[in-house]
Amino acid sequence: MVGKKVLIAEDDKDILFILNLVLKDAGYTVEPLIEGSSIVARTKDWPDLFIIDQNMPLIDGLALCKFLRLKEETKNIPIIMISCFHKLKRRAREVGVDDFIEKPFHVKDLLLTVEKYIALHDNRVNSYHAS
């Protein structure tokens, strides 16, 4: 999955550091953001996958995910939500989140989930271009 871009929106600097390090070590290009509000103003350079924390300042993860699902350019990009609030899992699915990882998480599980959704995104993109 070398060169695939993962955008992380996470307000906890320690978790953001760990996610950034782990994903870069796995060969991904990583764009770490300490908050998600800058994503709303973005018009290009979309990632292959989003990892979004639920609890962030300015715009929470659920609202951000709902926004991404409504936007034409991002509606098919996989979203993994991370949160320590496991009860949000159902609500996250309702707004279009593809998968939910509860904090604390195991790095191996995170990498397997990221790999799974990067592959699904590649298949979607390849199917779109083939038709």
Cα–Cα distance list, 115 to 16, 18, 26, 44 (Å): 18, 17, 10, 23
Please give the residue range of the domain that contains residue 82: 5-130
Class of residue 59 by CB neighbours under 10 A (exposed 0-12, middle 13-18, buried 19+): middle
Closest alpha carbon to 41 in 67, 60, 61, 66? 67
| Count of domains for the chain | 1
List, for residues 7-41, the tens digit of each pLDDT value.
999 999 999 999 999 999 999 999 999 989 999 98
31: phi then psi, degrees, rounded to nearest 5: -115, 100
Residue-wise pLDDT tens digits, 66-83: 999 999 999 999 999 999
pTM of structure:
0.93
CATH code: domain of residue 102: 3.40.50.2300
Q: Residue 111 and residue 127: Cα distance in Å, rounded?
A: 24
